[in-house]
Amino acid sequence: MFGYPALVASGVVYAIGIVAQSVAARRAEQRGGVDLGLLGRLATDRVYLLGFAAQVTGFVLAFLARATLPLYLVQAGASSAVGLAALFGALTLGWRIRPAEIAALVVMAGGLLLLVGAAQPSVAREMPVGVGVALLGVLLLTVVLAVPACGVRGARGTVPLGVLAGVAFAVLAIASRPLADGPLLRLPLESLAWVMVAAALLGQAMLAAGLQRGSATATAASMDSTSVVLASVIGLVALGDQIAAGRSWWVALGLTLVVLGVLAMAAAAGVRAERPADALLPAEAAS
């Protein structure tokens, strides 16, 4: 039963990572076009490094959860981080949470409860070679689409970059599911592990670019809604993820509620940048 505690812990640390990375990315210098140096500049920011460390910890915990839990549950659970991030941001940075966002959190919670009730723990079957090749192709296509997406300045570029981050993180989740139950020391020898690493780096770059341009909530919501749908479908179709008998509609409704919840949070926040003080730590905002 380790999968469930690992899933809860991953959502909490993911939320901390989103808030910290948003703070750092929003105060970084913004340049036009494909900014290849953005991650390098952010690597010197201690707040961003804190957020990155939280993201890595969240990934490890989610990876361990995927050893026994289906992707539709793990990805939906991870998507709850956008709601937790809004709460953490309100408590630490003074971000405003609107009534509509609170309602969206309730919808997401309802969806997660349905998914928990429908989940049938299982070990993923071996990934077909064709699916592995397709995942690599999706990553290459994401890189191609990143060029025009990064050329959009301001808040209008937030959602496209969030969607591309979601695609990359969906590939990461799909590739990691068959690996999670195997010997960890053999990971460097597995080709899927390197697909997973490439997807993580690409997703991180797209997430940073999206956070820099606008709302952390809109970026994370578009990312999560994309990743949860893609990973869940592939998990059920290609990896043998299981659903408790007679509860398929629970999964369909649960995923719908989770996706609607994250999209509603993005709509409530608006595709906008938070007010300037939102992008600062309390001590900095007071100075």
Task: Name which of 106, 108, 78 is nearest 7 in CA terms.
Answer: 78
What tens digit of pLDDT does each residue of 3-42 get? 889 998 998 898 888 788 777 766 655 555 444 555 566 6
Q: How confident is the model at residue 279 (pLDDT cuts 50, 70, 90)?
A: very low
What tens digit of pLDDT does each residue of 202-226 get? 998 888 788 777 666 677 778 888 8
CA pseudo-torsion sign 199, 200, 202, 207: positive
Distance between CA atoms of 1 and 121, rounded to whole angstroms?
9
DSSP for residue 188: G
User: Residue 188: which residues within 8 A CB-CB, separation 6 or more?
Assistant: none
Task: Name which of 212, 1, 172 is nearest 78 in CA terms.
Answer: 172
Task: Give the 3-state secondary structure of residue 270.
Answer: coil
What tens digit of pLDDT does each residue of 45-103 get? 777 788 888 988 988 898 899 988 999 999 888 877 777 887 777 777 777 777 877 88
pLDDT, averaged across the chain: 79
Average pLDDT estimate for 168-181: 90
Distance between CA atoms of 64 and 6, rounded to whole angstroms?
7
Angle at 25 between CA 20 and CA 30, to 5 degrees: 170
> In this structure, are residues 16 and 86 in contact, taking their beta carbons and an 8 Å threshold?
no
Distance between CA atoms of 132 and 234, rounded to whole angstroms?
11
Pairing type for strands 242-243 and 119-120 reads antiparallel
